[in-house]
Amino acid sequence: MSGGLLVAGTTSDAGKSVVTAGICRWLRRRGVRVAPFKAQNMSNNSAVVVGPDGRGGELGRAQAMQAAACGLAPDLRFNPVLLKPGSDHASQVVLLGEAVDTVTAGNFHTLRPRLAATAYAALAELRSEYDVVICEGAGSPAEINLRAGDYVNLGLARQAGLPTVVVGDIDRGGVFASMFGTVALLDAADQALVAGFVINKFRGDLGLLRPGLDMLRQVTGRPTYGVLPWALDLWLDAEDSLAYGRVLGRPAAPRGTEWLDVAVVRLPRISNATDVEALATEPGVRVRLTVEPAELAAADLVVLPGSKSTVADLTWLRETGLADAVRAHAAAGRPLLGICGGFQMLARAVHDEVESRRGSVPGLGLLPVEITFDERKTVRRAAGTAAGDVPVHGYEIHHGRVSAADPGLPPLLRHADGTGEGARLGAVYGTHWHGTFESDGFRRRFLTEVAGAAGRTGFKVAPDTSFAAARERTLDLLGDLVEEHLDTDALWRLIESGPPPGLPFVPPGAPETR
Protein backbone atom coordinates (compact mmCIF):
# COMPACT_ATOMS: atom_id res chain seq x y z
CA MET A 1 0.00 0.00 0.00
CA SER A 2 0.96 3.66 -0.19
CA GLY A 3 -1.15 5.22 2.53
CA GLY A 4 -0.79 8.63 4.06
CA LEU A 5 -2.20 11.14 6.50
CA LEU A 6 -1.68 14.84 7.21
CA VAL A 7 -1.70 15.90 10.85
CA ALA A 8 -2.60 19.60 10.85
CA GLY A 9 -3.22 21.88 13.83
CA THR A 10 -5.36 24.83 14.81
CA THR A 11 -2.21 26.68 15.92
CA SER A 12 1.51 26.28 16.31
CA ASP A 13 2.36 24.07 19.29
CA ALA A 14 -1.08 22.43 19.23
CA GLY A 15 0.63 19.05 19.41
CA LYS A 16 1.13 18.14 15.75
CA SER A 17 4.67 16.86 16.28
CA VAL A 18 3.85 14.57 19.20
CA VAL A 19 0.61 13.29 17.64
CA THR A 20 2.54 12.50 14.45
CA ALA A 21 5.20 10.68 16.45
CA GLY A 22 2.56 8.77 18.41
CA ILE A 23 0.78 7.63 15.25
CA CYS A 24 4.15 6.60 13.80
CA ARG A 25 4.97 4.51 16.89
CA TRP A 26 1.49 2.91 16.86
CA LEU A 27 1.86 1.95 13.18
CA ARG A 28 5.34 0.58 13.73
CA ARG A 29 3.96 -1.67 16.48
CA ARG A 30 1.47 -3.00 13.91
CA GLY A 31 4.35 -3.98 11.65
CA VAL A 32 3.70 -1.18 9.17
CA ARG A 33 6.69 0.30 7.34
CA VAL A 34 6.05 3.93 8.24
CA ALA A 35 8.01 7.16 7.78
CA PRO A 36 7.44 10.76 8.96
CA PHE A 37 7.41 13.84 6.76
CA LYS A 38 7.21 17.60 7.17
CA ALA A 39 7.50 19.52 3.93
CA GLN A 40 8.71 22.71 5.58
CA ASN A 41 9.77 23.27 9.15
CA MET A 42 10.68 26.59 10.73
CA SER A 43 12.91 25.86 13.69
CA ASN A 44 16.41 26.47 15.02
CA ASN A 45 16.38 23.04 16.68
CA SER A 46 17.89 20.69 14.13
CA ALA A 47 19.61 17.33 13.94
CA VAL A 48 22.51 16.23 11.73
CA VAL A 49 22.27 13.44 9.19
CA VAL A 50 25.25 12.05 7.30
CA GLY A 51 24.23 11.42 3.70
CA PRO A 52 25.41 8.70 1.31
CA ASP A 53 28.17 11.03 0.09
CA GLY A 54 29.53 11.36 3.64
CA ARG A 55 28.49 15.00 3.97
CA GLY A 56 26.41 16.19 6.89
CA GLY A 57 23.02 17.80 6.48
CA GLU A 58 20.33 19.24 8.73
CA LEU A 59 16.69 18.42 9.32
CA GLY A 60 14.22 19.52 11.96
CA ARG A 61 14.77 17.83 15.30
CA ALA A 62 11.09 16.90 15.51
CA GLN A 63 11.45 14.81 12.35
CA ALA A 64 14.51 13.08 13.81
CA MET A 65 12.38 12.22 16.86
CA GLN A 66 9.56 10.99 14.63
CA ALA A 67 12.04 8.86 12.69
CA ALA A 68 13.05 7.21 15.97
CA ALA A 69 9.36 6.53 16.63
CA CYS A 70 9.32 4.67 13.31
CA GLY A 71 12.50 2.76 14.17
CA LEU A 72 14.37 4.60 11.40
CA ALA A 73 17.55 6.60 11.14
CA PRO A 74 16.84 10.23 10.17
CA ASP A 75 16.60 10.89 6.44
CA LEU A 76 16.92 14.37 4.94
CA ARG A 77 13.81 13.71 2.86
CA PHE A 78 11.75 13.56 6.08
CA ASN A 79 12.11 17.37 6.26
CA PRO A 80 13.21 18.62 2.83
CA VAL A 81 12.82 22.34 3.64
CA LEU A 82 14.08 23.73 6.95
CA LEU A 83 13.87 27.47 7.62
CA LYS A 84 16.17 28.66 10.42
CA PRO A 85 15.17 32.16 11.60
CA GLY A 86 18.11 34.50 12.07
CA SER A 87 15.98 37.59 12.69
CA ASP A 88 12.34 38.64 12.66
CA HIS A 89 12.55 39.19 8.91
CA ALA A 90 14.89 36.57 7.44
CA SER A 91 15.56 32.84 7.66
CA GLN A 92 18.31 30.64 6.35
CA VAL A 93 16.96 28.10 3.86
CA VAL A 94 18.20 24.55 4.33
CA LEU A 95 17.19 22.44 1.34
CA LEU A 96 17.62 18.68 1.67
CA GLY A 97 20.10 19.33 4.44
CA GLU A 98 22.22 22.06 2.84
CA ALA A 99 22.05 25.81 3.47
CA VAL A 100 21.33 27.32 0.05
CA ASP A 101 19.80 30.77 0.49
CA THR A 102 18.11 33.29 2.77
CA VAL A 103 14.37 33.81 2.57
CA THR A 104 12.53 37.03 3.39
CA ALA A 105 8.98 38.19 2.83
CA GLY A 106 10.26 39.92 -0.27
CA ASN A 107 11.85 36.99 -2.06
CA PHE A 108 9.75 34.05 -0.83
CA HIS A 109 7.58 34.08 -3.95
CA THR A 110 10.66 33.53 -6.14
CA LEU A 111 12.00 30.70 -3.95
CA ARG A 112 8.70 28.98 -3.31
CA PRO A 113 8.42 27.00 -6.61
CA ARG A 114 11.81 25.40 -6.00
CA LEU A 115 11.03 24.62 -2.37
CA ALA A 116 7.60 23.19 -3.19
CA ALA A 117 8.93 21.04 -6.02
CA THR A 118 11.63 19.63 -3.75
CA ALA A 119 9.09 18.86 -1.02
CA TYR A 120 6.63 17.18 -3.39
CA ALA A 121 9.38 15.06 -4.94
CA ALA A 122 10.66 13.97 -1.53
CA LEU A 123 7.17 12.90 -0.41
CA ALA A 124 6.62 10.98 -3.65
CA GLU A 125 9.88 9.09 -3.12
CA LEU A 126 9.00 8.22 0.46
CA ARG A 127 5.53 7.00 -0.51
CA SER A 128 7.10 4.68 -3.06
CA GLU A 129 9.42 3.21 -0.41
CA TYR A 130 7.17 2.95 2.66
CA ASP A 131 3.71 1.55 3.34
CA VAL A 132 2.58 4.73 5.06
CA VAL A 133 3.90 8.29 5.37
CA ILE A 134 2.53 10.39 8.24
CA CYS A 135 2.88 14.06 7.33
CA GLU A 136 2.96 16.93 9.81
CA GLY A 137 1.63 20.34 8.87
CA ALA A 138 2.97 23.68 10.04
CA GLY A 139 1.19 26.40 11.98
CA SER A 140 -2.47 26.37 10.96
CA PRO A 141 -3.98 25.38 7.59
CA ALA A 142 -6.41 28.31 8.00
CA GLU A 143 -3.72 30.96 7.63
CA ILE A 144 -5.62 32.29 4.63
CA ASN A 145 -3.04 34.99 3.92
CA LEU A 146 -0.54 32.22 3.13
CA ARG A 147 -2.78 29.64 1.45
CA ALA A 148 -1.92 30.57 -2.14
CA GLY A 149 1.71 29.60 -1.62
CA ASP A 150 1.14 26.71 0.78
CA TYR A 151 2.90 23.42 0.22
CA VAL A 152 3.08 22.11 3.80
CA ASN A 153 -0.58 22.09 4.93
CA LEU A 154 -3.57 21.63 2.65
CA GLY A 155 -1.54 22.58 -0.39
CA LEU A 156 0.43 19.40 0.27
CA ALA A 157 -2.71 17.41 1.13
CA ARG A 158 -4.40 18.45 -2.10
CA GLN A 159 -1.33 17.73 -4.20
CA ALA A 160 -0.90 14.25 -2.66
CA GLY A 161 -4.56 13.41 -1.96
CA LEU A 162 -4.01 13.12 1.79
CA PRO A 163 -6.80 12.85 4.34
CA THR A 164 -6.29 15.39 7.11
CA VAL A 165 -6.97 15.48 10.83
CA VAL A 166 -6.84 18.75 12.75
CA VAL A 167 -5.30 18.78 16.25
CA GLY A 168 -6.46 21.36 18.78
CA ASP A 169 -4.91 22.23 22.15
CA ILE A 170 -7.78 22.40 24.63
CA ASP A 171 -5.45 23.67 27.36
CA ARG A 172 -5.33 27.04 25.59
CA GLY A 173 -9.10 27.41 25.62
CA GLY A 174 -11.42 28.02 22.67
CA VAL A 175 -10.72 24.65 21.09
CA PHE A 176 -14.21 24.17 19.60
CA ALA A 177 -14.22 27.63 18.05
CA SER A 178 -10.75 27.13 16.61
CA MET A 179 -11.63 23.74 15.12
CA PHE A 180 -14.88 24.97 13.59
CA GLY A 181 -13.18 28.14 12.35
CA THR A 182 -10.32 26.17 10.81
CA VAL A 183 -12.73 24.23 8.60
CA ALA A 184 -15.01 27.16 7.86
CA LEU A 185 -12.11 29.30 6.56
CA LEU A 186 -11.09 26.72 3.96
CA ASP A 187 -12.35 26.54 0.40
CA ALA A 188 -14.53 23.61 -0.68
CA ALA A 189 -11.69 21.54 -2.15
CA ASP A 190 -9.61 21.87 1.02
CA GLN A 191 -12.59 21.13 3.26
CA ALA A 192 -13.15 17.90 1.36
CA LEU A 193 -9.81 16.64 2.71
CA VAL A 194 -10.42 17.46 6.39
CA ALA A 195 -11.82 14.25 7.85
CA GLY A 196 -12.02 15.15 11.54
CA PHE A 197 -10.35 16.28 14.72
CA VAL A 198 -8.12 15.27 17.62
CA ILE A 199 -8.24 17.14 20.93
CA ASN A 200 -4.95 17.37 22.78
CA LYS A 201 -3.87 18.13 26.38
CA PHE A 202 -7.24 17.47 28.03
CA ARG A 203 -7.52 17.57 31.81
CA GLY A 204 -10.81 16.75 33.49
CA ASP A 205 -13.96 14.69 33.12
CA LEU A 206 -14.45 13.45 29.58
CA GLY A 207 -18.18 13.29 30.20
CA LEU A 208 -18.30 17.06 30.51
CA LEU A 209 -16.56 17.36 27.14
CA ARG A 210 -18.86 14.96 25.30
CA PRO A 211 -21.68 17.44 24.50
CA GLY A 212 -19.15 19.73 22.83
CA LEU A 213 -17.78 16.88 20.73
CA ASP A 214 -21.30 15.96 19.64
CA MET A 215 -22.12 19.55 18.71
CA LEU A 216 -18.84 19.93 16.80
CA ARG A 217 -19.83 16.92 14.72
CA GLN A 218 -23.28 18.38 14.10
CA VAL A 219 -21.98 21.72 12.83
CA THR A 220 -19.05 20.35 10.79
CA GLY A 221 -20.20 16.86 9.82
CA ARG A 222 -16.88 15.51 11.04
CA PRO A 223 -16.00 13.28 13.99
CA THR A 224 -13.43 13.75 16.72
CA TYR A 225 -11.10 10.75 16.53
CA GLY A 226 -10.16 10.97 20.18
CA VAL A 227 -9.14 13.08 23.14
CA LEU A 228 -5.53 12.85 24.31
CA PRO A 229 -4.92 13.55 27.99
CA TRP A 230 -2.39 15.99 29.37
CA ALA A 231 0.91 14.12 29.88
CA LEU A 232 3.62 15.75 31.97
CA ASP A 233 6.36 13.50 30.65
CA LEU A 234 6.16 14.73 27.04
CA TRP A 235 8.90 17.36 27.02
CA LEU A 236 11.93 15.78 25.31
CA ASP A 237 12.97 16.80 21.78
CA ALA A 238 10.97 20.02 21.69
CA GLU A 239 10.69 21.45 18.18
CA ASP A 240 10.77 25.00 19.52
CA SER A 241 12.28 26.25 22.78
CA LEU A 242 9.11 28.31 23.29
CA ALA A 243 7.40 24.99 24.06
CA TYR A 244 9.43 24.75 27.26
CA GLY A 245 8.18 26.07 30.54
CA ARG A 246 10.61 27.76 32.88
CA VAL A 247 11.70 24.40 34.34
CA LEU A 248 12.42 21.48 32.02
CA GLY A 249 10.72 18.21 32.75
CA ARG A 250 9.93 16.97 36.23
CA PRO A 251 13.19 16.87 38.21
CA ALA A 252 13.52 13.69 40.28
CA ALA A 253 14.75 13.89 43.86
CA PRO A 254 18.55 13.98 44.27
CA ARG A 255 20.48 10.82 44.97
CA GLY A 256 22.70 12.76 47.36
CA THR A 257 21.83 15.47 49.88
CA GLU A 258 21.93 18.50 47.56
CA TRP A 259 20.34 19.71 44.32
CA LEU A 260 22.31 21.16 41.42
CA ASP A 261 20.73 24.27 39.92
CA VAL A 262 21.32 24.95 36.20
CA ALA A 263 20.30 28.25 34.61
CA VAL A 264 20.10 28.33 30.80
CA VAL A 265 19.93 31.76 29.19
CA ARG A 266 16.95 31.88 26.85
CA LEU A 267 18.57 33.76 23.98
CA PRO A 268 16.27 35.49 21.46
CA ARG A 269 17.57 33.25 18.65
CA ILE A 270 18.35 30.21 20.77
CA SER A 271 19.15 27.11 18.73
CA ASN A 272 19.33 23.46 19.71
CA ALA A 273 18.07 24.20 23.19
CA THR A 274 17.55 20.45 23.38
CA ASP A 275 21.22 20.20 24.41
CA VAL A 276 20.22 20.73 28.05
CA GLU A 277 17.36 18.23 28.05
CA ALA A 278 19.73 15.42 28.95
CA LEU A 279 20.83 17.35 32.06
CA ALA A 280 17.18 17.58 33.09
CA THR A 281 16.81 13.79 33.04
CA GLU A 282 19.31 13.51 35.90
CA PRO A 283 17.91 13.15 39.44
CA GLY A 284 18.66 16.21 41.54
CA VAL A 285 19.37 18.50 38.56
CA ARG A 286 16.98 21.40 38.15
CA VAL A 287 17.27 23.00 34.69
CA ARG A 288 15.47 26.28 34.06
CA LEU A 289 15.46 28.76 31.21
CA THR A 290 15.71 32.39 32.21
CA VAL A 291 16.19 35.93 30.97
CA GLU A 292 16.69 37.36 34.48
CA PRO A 293 20.24 38.44 35.47
CA ALA A 294 19.43 37.89 39.17
CA GLU A 295 18.67 34.23 38.54
CA LEU A 296 22.20 33.61 37.25
CA ALA A 297 23.68 34.67 40.57
CA ALA A 298 21.93 31.81 42.39
CA ALA A 299 22.76 29.13 39.82
CA ASP A 300 25.43 26.48 40.26
CA LEU A 301 25.95 26.20 36.49
CA VAL A 302 25.11 28.82 33.87
CA VAL A 303 24.71 27.68 30.26
CA LEU A 304 24.93 29.93 27.21
CA PRO A 305 23.28 27.72 24.57
CA GLY A 306 23.51 27.77 20.80
CA SER A 307 22.36 30.76 18.78
CA LYS A 308 21.37 31.27 15.16
CA SER A 309 22.58 34.89 15.50
CA THR A 310 25.66 34.93 17.70
CA VAL A 311 26.56 38.62 17.39
CA ALA A 312 22.96 39.85 17.70
CA ASP A 313 22.36 37.69 20.78
CA LEU A 314 25.66 38.85 22.26
CA THR A 315 24.46 42.44 21.86
CA TRP A 316 21.20 41.46 23.57
CA LEU A 317 23.16 39.96 26.49
CA ARG A 318 24.86 43.30 27.01
CA GLU A 319 21.66 45.34 26.66
CA THR A 320 19.78 43.24 29.23
CA GLY A 321 22.52 43.14 31.87
CA LEU A 322 22.92 39.40 31.40
CA ALA A 323 26.49 39.81 30.10
CA ASP A 324 27.51 41.42 33.39
CA ALA A 325 25.75 38.67 35.32
CA VAL A 326 27.58 36.00 33.30
CA ARG A 327 30.93 37.68 33.95
CA ALA A 328 30.18 37.99 37.67
CA HIS A 329 29.25 34.32 37.83
CA ALA A 330 32.54 33.33 36.19
CA ALA A 331 34.56 35.77 38.33
CA ALA A 332 33.19 34.01 41.42
CA GLY A 333 34.69 30.76 40.14
CA ARG A 334 31.30 29.21 39.47
CA PRO A 335 30.89 26.93 36.45
CA LEU A 336 29.94 28.45 33.09
CA LEU A 337 29.37 26.50 29.87
CA GLY A 338 29.03 27.87 26.34
CA ILE A 339 27.70 25.59 23.60
CA CYS A 340 28.29 26.48 19.94
CA GLY A 341 27.07 30.11 19.65
CA GLY A 342 27.33 30.38 23.43
CA PHE A 343 30.96 29.22 23.22
CA GLN A 344 31.62 31.87 20.57
CA MET A 345 30.23 34.57 22.86
CA LEU A 346 32.78 33.62 25.54
CA ALA A 347 35.67 34.46 23.19
CA ARG A 348 37.87 37.57 23.24
CA ALA A 349 36.64 38.58 19.80
CA VAL A 350 34.21 37.44 17.12
CA HIS A 351 35.01 38.21 13.48
CA ASP A 352 31.79 37.92 11.50
CA GLU A 353 31.43 38.98 7.88
CA VAL A 354 28.96 36.16 7.19
CA GLU A 355 26.02 35.97 9.60
CA SER A 356 25.68 39.49 11.03
CA ARG A 357 28.26 41.15 8.74
CA ARG A 358 29.28 43.28 11.71
CA GLY A 359 33.00 42.63 11.28
CA SER A 360 35.05 42.30 14.47
CA VAL A 361 33.19 42.68 17.76
CA PRO A 362 34.43 42.01 21.29
CA GLY A 363 33.22 38.87 23.00
CA LEU A 364 32.77 38.39 26.73
CA GLY A 365 36.50 37.70 27.06
CA LEU A 366 36.11 34.70 29.35
CA LEU A 367 38.04 32.28 27.14
CA PRO A 368 41.33 33.26 25.40
CA VAL A 369 40.17 32.37 21.89
CA GLU A 370 39.01 34.24 18.80
CA ILE A 371 36.19 33.15 16.49
CA THR A 372 36.03 33.71 12.73
CA PHE A 373 32.92 33.00 10.67
CA ASP A 374 33.29 31.06 7.40
CA GLU A 375 30.89 31.21 4.47
CA ARG A 376 30.52 27.43 4.42
CA LYS A 377 28.71 25.96 7.38
CA THR A 378 30.24 23.05 9.28
CA VAL A 379 27.60 20.31 9.59
CA ARG A 380 28.82 16.93 10.78
CA ARG A 381 28.57 14.21 13.36
CA ALA A 382 31.29 14.18 16.01
CA ALA A 383 32.78 11.56 18.30
CA GLY A 384 35.75 11.45 20.63
CA THR A 385 36.63 11.51 24.31
CA ALA A 386 36.64 13.80 27.33
CA ALA A 387 38.97 13.76 30.33
CA GLY A 388 41.21 11.33 28.51
CA ASP A 389 39.01 8.26 28.42
CA VAL A 390 35.29 9.09 28.61
CA PRO A 391 33.53 8.44 25.27
CA VAL A 392 31.44 11.32 23.99
CA HIS A 393 29.48 11.90 20.80
CA GLY A 394 27.61 14.85 19.38
CA TYR A 395 27.19 16.92 16.25
CA GLU A 396 28.29 20.28 14.86
CA ILE A 397 26.25 22.99 13.10
CA HIS A 398 28.08 26.32 12.89
CA HIS A 399 29.73 28.93 10.68
CA GLY A 400 32.13 30.16 13.36
CA ARG A 401 35.44 28.41 14.08
CA VAL A 402 38.28 28.95 16.51
CA SER A 403 40.81 30.95 14.50
CA ALA A 404 43.18 31.81 17.37
CA ALA A 405 43.78 30.56 20.90
CA ASP A 406 46.39 31.03 23.60
CA PRO A 407 49.11 28.38 23.49
CA GLY A 408 48.55 25.60 25.97
CA LEU A 409 44.84 26.27 26.43
CA PRO A 410 43.39 22.85 27.25
CA PRO A 411 40.52 21.56 25.12
CA LEU A 412 37.26 20.42 26.66
CA LEU A 413 36.99 17.43 24.33
CA ARG A 414 39.10 15.56 21.82
CA HIS A 415 38.15 14.26 18.41
CA ALA A 416 38.72 10.61 17.62
CA ASP A 417 41.99 11.58 15.90
CA GLY A 418 43.26 13.23 19.10
CA THR A 419 42.85 16.86 18.02
CA GLY A 420 41.33 19.18 20.57
CA GLU A 421 37.81 20.59 20.52
CA GLY A 422 36.56 23.56 22.52
CA ALA A 423 38.35 25.00 25.52
CA ARG A 424 38.36 25.14 29.28
CA LEU A 425 39.86 27.68 31.65
CA GLY A 426 39.18 27.06 35.31
CA ALA A 427 35.44 26.54 35.60
CA VAL A 428 34.66 28.11 32.22
CA TYR A 429 33.97 25.57 29.46
CA GLY A 430 33.18 25.91 25.78
CA THR A 431 32.52 23.59 22.85
CA HIS A 432 31.02 23.67 19.37
CA TRP A 433 29.61 20.16 19.88
CA HIS A 434 25.88 19.84 20.42
CA GLY A 435 24.32 16.79 22.03
CA THR A 436 27.27 15.80 24.21
CA PHE A 437 25.16 15.32 27.35
CA GLU A 438 23.31 12.47 25.66
CA SER A 439 26.52 10.50 26.32
CA ASP A 440 25.76 9.18 29.80
CA GLY A 441 29.37 8.80 30.96
CA PHE A 442 30.37 12.30 29.88
CA ARG A 443 27.26 13.83 31.43
CA ARG A 444 28.02 12.18 34.79
CA ARG A 445 31.68 13.22 34.70
CA PHE A 446 30.83 16.80 33.79
CA LEU A 447 28.12 17.18 36.46
CA THR A 448 30.40 15.72 39.10
CA GLU A 449 33.10 18.26 38.22
CA VAL A 450 30.59 21.11 38.09
CA ALA A 451 29.13 20.18 41.47
CA GLY A 452 32.61 20.23 43.00
CA ALA A 453 33.43 23.63 41.51
CA ALA A 454 30.09 25.00 42.71
CA GLY A 455 30.63 23.70 46.24
CA ARG A 456 27.74 21.24 46.02
CA THR A 457 29.63 18.42 47.73
CA GLY A 458 26.37 16.71 48.67
CA PHE A 459 25.30 16.28 45.04
CA LYS A 460 25.73 12.78 43.61
CA VAL A 461 25.12 11.68 40.03
CA ALA A 462 22.87 8.69 39.45
CA PRO A 463 24.83 5.75 38.02
CA ASP A 464 21.86 4.33 36.12
CA THR A 465 20.33 7.27 34.22
CA SER A 466 20.15 6.52 30.49
CA PHE A 467 19.15 9.33 28.18
CA ALA A 468 18.52 6.95 25.28
CA ALA A 469 16.15 4.94 27.48
CA ALA A 470 14.36 8.13 28.57
CA ARG A 471 13.80 9.09 24.93
CA GLU A 472 12.53 5.61 24.11
CA ARG A 473 10.11 5.74 27.05
CA THR A 474 8.75 9.01 25.69
CA LEU A 475 8.15 7.46 22.27
CA ASP A 476 6.47 4.44 23.83
CA LEU A 477 4.26 6.75 25.89
CA LEU A 478 3.19 8.53 22.72
CA GLY A 479 2.32 5.21 21.11
CA ASP A 480 0.38 4.17 24.22
CA LEU A 481 -1.62 7.42 24.22
CA VAL A 482 -2.61 6.95 20.58
CA GLU A 483 -3.63 3.32 21.10
CA GLU A 484 -5.60 4.04 24.27
CA HIS A 485 -7.30 7.33 23.43
CA LEU A 486 -7.74 7.58 19.66
CA ASP A 487 -10.05 5.61 17.38
CA THR A 488 -7.23 3.76 15.68
CA ASP A 489 -9.58 1.68 13.51
CA ALA A 490 -11.01 4.87 12.05
CA LEU A 491 -7.53 6.34 11.61
CA TRP A 492 -6.41 3.21 9.80
CA ARG A 493 -9.37 3.47 7.41
CA LEU A 494 -8.34 7.06 6.65
CA ILE A 495 -4.73 6.09 6.04
CA GLU A 496 -5.69 3.16 3.85
CA SER A 497 -8.59 4.63 1.90
CA GLY A 498 -8.06 8.39 1.85
CA PRO A 499 -10.52 11.22 2.54
CA PRO A 500 -14.09 10.01 3.16
CA PRO A 501 -16.47 10.90 0.32
CA GLY A 502 -19.32 13.29 0.88
CA LEU A 503 -17.86 15.45 3.67
CA PRO A 504 -20.17 18.49 3.99
CA PHE A 505 -19.15 22.02 3.16
CA VAL A 506 -19.04 24.35 6.17
CA PRO A 507 -19.85 27.97 5.24
CA PRO A 508 -18.72 30.58 4.66
CA GLY A 509 -15.56 28.98 3.23
CA ALA A 510 -12.78 30.79 1.45
CA PRO A 511 -12.55 31.64 -2.24
CA GLU A 512 -11.27 28.76 -4.32
CA THR A 513 -7.50 28.35 -4.13
CA ARG A 514 -5.79 27.80 -7.47
Return the active site residues: 340, 434
Asked if residue 155 lies in contact with residue 192, where contact means CB atoms within 8 angstroms, the answer is: no
Asked if residue 25 lies in contact with residue 483, where contact means CB atoms within 8 angstroms, the answer is: no
Query: Which residues, at least 6 apart from 415, have a Cβ–Cβ distance to it below 8 Å?
Result: 382, 383, 384, 421
- To the nearest 10 degrees (0 to 180), the angle between helices 16-29 and 61-69 is 20
477 vs 500: CA distance, rounded Å: 29
Asked if residue 413 lies in contact with residue 433, where contact means CB atoms within 8 angstroms, the answer is: yes
Could you say which DSSP state residue 243 is in? G
For the four alpha carbons of 264, 137, 169 and 234, in that order, the dihedral sign comes to negative
Please choose, from the candidates 288, 312, 282, the residue with its C-alpha nearest in 3D space to the C-alpha of residue 302: 288
Query: Which residues, at least 6 apart from 168, have a Cβ–Cβ distance to it below 8 Å?
Result: 9, 10, 11, 14, 175, 178, 179, 197, 198, 199, 200
What does residue 14 show for φ and ψ, rounded to 5 degrees? -75, -20
122 vs 151: CA distance, rounded Å: 12
